[in-house]
Structure 1
């Protein structure tokens, strides 16, 4: 069974809303520069640290989660090892595989990135309490798929 298409005006409004949300999150309030300046590393390295803060991964799994190829992931991990943010050790049951673990210094750097990413943009803080509550309700329903 196919879902009927919304009327053209609703489709256009949905497309404009989506473009606005993407611009808000990806362009206008991108925190990438803040993170790279605060940590002195590329955003992808910070992304790797943030992921590894949730638990160790094999090199292959880290590459998959970051959507990077194996050789680039190796470069990222090599740099993070040199900085003392991660360790790379043989897998306990398969010595051909490597496990990447975050260090205390790496966990602290990941926490800085998380703190920067968690800070709401000024434009969001400038909304009235009623508008903010309405937006929160709408975003919650979109995320939950209600």
Structure 2
């Protein structure tokens, strides 16, 4: 007897996966364009966006960005030189440094999000109930991910 992971996905599932892939590809393309519009690399923009949600220890940033801590140090150095982020001692452990977004960095991060047209325009065509249903379905997908 085959387990769910061993069976071949049905056509509907494959179509949904392909559509999600198209949305992700379009998001990344526009995100890179938005980053360049703010004179940022994609990695700098991703880090700034993460920090706009809350300060994080450098090691945790590296985990979230799936890169080496030394790479994060370089990215933070460049963003710090532009006044977009700052390093602070972690209140829970003063030996640990956290990176935090500055007021200017928060403004740039907001500008990055607001410049992503691809989702805003199609989503505007959906009613409130449809957007709520889509949000709830996406949350369920994200929350069920073991990673």
Q: With structure 2 as the length reference, what TM-score do the two structures score?
A: 0.72
Pick aligned residue for 1:144 from 129, 140, 145: 140
Q: Find the aligned partners of 2:124 and 2:95 in 1 and give their Cα distance.
A: 53
Q: Which runs of 5+ in 1 are unaligned?
A: none
1:126 to 1:109, Cα distance in 2 relative to 1, 3 A: closer
Judge which range, 109-118 or 87-96, deviates more.
87-96
* Structure 1 position 14, deviation (Å): 1.7
Paired residue for 2:35? Answer: 36
Q: Is residue 26–residue 118 contact of structure 2 (8 Å, CA) maintained in 1? A: no
Q: With structure 1 as the length reference, what TM-score do the two structures score?
A: 0.72
Q: How does 1:52-63 map to 2 (within 5 A)?
A: 52-63=51-62
Q: Is residue 27–residue 116 contact of structure 2 (8 Å, CA) maintained in 1? A: no
Q: Which runs of 5+ in 2 are unaligned?
A: 142-147
Larger radius of gyration: 1
**Count of aligned pairs:** 140
* Structure 1 position 65, deviation (Å): 2.1
Is 1:113 paired with 2:109? no
What per-residue deviation string (whole Å, max 9, x for no partner) do you get for residues 12-40 of structure 1? 33213311321233148731232122211
